[in-house]
Structure 1
Amino acid sequence: MGQHGVYLLKETGSKLDILLYDNNIAVTNGDKKQSGKFSAATEYQIDTKKKTIKQVWSYSKNFGKQNFTEVIGYAQRLKNGNTLINFGFKNKGKESNIIEVDAHGNQVFNLTITNSAKDMTYVYRAYRMQFYPDNVTK
C-alpha cells in the first residue's frame, strides 16, 4: 500500500515490467507486520496470460526505518539502466534523500536535503535531467 509513480518499463508479449515507489504502509490492506519498516523502489513483472506477478528488483529494504517515508516518494529508471529514487518525506518531512543506484544496487549518487526555512524539506518528485545538450563541449 502507498505506491507512487507506477509506470511501464517495457511490454513483451503478455509480460509487463513496471517500476514503482512503495512507501510500504498498510492503510486498509497489506502486510501489517512489514508496514512502516522500510520504503523501496521496486520492479515487478506481470504476466497477464498466467495472471502472475513477480518481484524482479528492489532497492532499499536494507535501510530499514532510516529511509522510511509514510507519504511521498518516486522512482525513475534512467536511460543508462540506473534508478533514481526519491525518499521524499523522511523524518516526518524534515528531510529528503535522493539516491541513484546501478542495476546491482551500487550507489552512484546520494543527496540528502535538510534544514529548510520552515523545517519542512520534503521533495515530492525528483528527476534526473540532462544539464547540457549532447552537442555542448564541457
Structure 2
Amino acid sequence: MSNKPASRLIAKALPRGDRFAAQFALPGLVPDLVRDSGGVKLFPTEAAAESAAKDAVIRLFDSRTVDTRKAGGYVRLTGAELAVLLDEINITPTYFAEIVGVPQARVMKWLDGEQDIPHSVHVTARLIAHSEENFRIAETITEQCQEKT
C-alpha cells in the first residue's frame, strides 16, 4: 500500500485470496485498511468489505473535530475545506507546506482536523486559488526565502 496521501475519497474492497480487505481514506490522508484487534480485518465478500470501508470513512469524517471558536474574530477553515482548496489549485500537501513554510506533517494535521488552521494559511490558500499570478508570486517568494546550498 502506498504512503501517498489520497487525492480523493477512497472506500473500496481489495482482494486478499478468497477474502477481501476494506481500504478507506479521505482526501489528504494516507489510505488505510479496516482493522480489528487481530490486525487487518478480512471479509467474506467484496460487498461486505466495501460496506466496512464506507463505514470507516464515515467514522473518520465524523471524528474530525471542528473548532467553532473564532480566534481574532475569524472563522476557521476546516481540514475538509483546505483539502478541497488544495485539490482545486492542484497542489500537493507537501508543496503547500513548502509555500506556507511549515513541515508537511503539520499540513496533514490540518487536513486531519488534529490542529487548527491559522487564518494566514486560509488567506494564502485563497489567494493562490484566486489567480495563477498569485501562485507564481507565492512560488517566487518561497524560492527567494529558501537557503541556497
Same fold (TM over 0.5): no
The structure in which a higher percent of residues are helix is 2
The structure in which a higher percent of residues are strand is 1
